[in-house]
């Protein structure tokens, strides 16, 4: 039996369907948030006066750049997480909709799909 798992991005503010992931930085920390088109537009509009008055600086080199890059999730990793969550739910395993997937569940999923 074939299975098709679809990943649905959810707006982190209001729970509606998200169309994009927006990355931004503040006080030396990098952030990423999934937003609907309207909330992404609202965020950009709210930040616009500050961005217009700010100086753009080059990306940091070295450890800081590597550290921020390590936190970014690719679409592929999101799809894999969604597949693991869907599989765990089908198996009756307790798993949250968000957050880190327990290693034991990842290990079981990988063993079942070898």
Domains defined along the chain, listed by start: 1-70 (3.30.60.230), 73-114 (4.10.320.10)
- SS3 helix, strand, coil % of the chain, rounded to 5? 45, 15, 40
DSSP 85: H
Per-residue confidence band for 98, with pLDDT thresholds at 50, 70 and 90: confident
Alpha helices in the chain (DSSP H): 37-53, 63-71, 75-90, 103-112
Q: What is the mean pLDDT of residues 93-105?
A: 87
Give first-to-last CA distance, the chain, whole Å.
16
pLDDT, residue 14, reads 95
Give the model confidence (pLDDT) of 21-79 as tens digits.
999 999 988 899 999 999 999 999 999 999 999 998 887 665 444 445 555 666 558 88
Integer Cα distance of 63 and 55 in angstroms? 23
The phi, psi pair for 84, rounded to 5°, reads -65, -45
Extract the tokens encoding 76.
């592929």
CA proximity to 35, closest of 47, 51, 53, 17: 17
- State whether the Cα torsion 59-27-33-91 is positive or negative: positive
CA-based R_g, the chain, Å: 18
């Amino acid at each position: 039996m074939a299975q098709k798992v679809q990943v649905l991005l959810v707006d982190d503010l209001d729970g509606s369907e998200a169309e994009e992931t927006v990355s931004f930085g503040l006080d030396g920390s990098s952030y990423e948030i999934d937003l609907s088109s309207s909330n992404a537009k609202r965020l950009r509009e709210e930040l616009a006066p500050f961005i217009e008055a700010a100086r753009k600086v080059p990306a940091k080199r070295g450890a800081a750049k590597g550290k921020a890059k390590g936190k970014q999730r690719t679409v592929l990793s999101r799809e894999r997480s969604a597949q693991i969550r869907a599989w765990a739910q089908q198996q009756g395993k307790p798993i949250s909709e968000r957050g880190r997937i327990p290693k034991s569940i990842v290990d079981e999923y990988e063993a079942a799909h070898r």
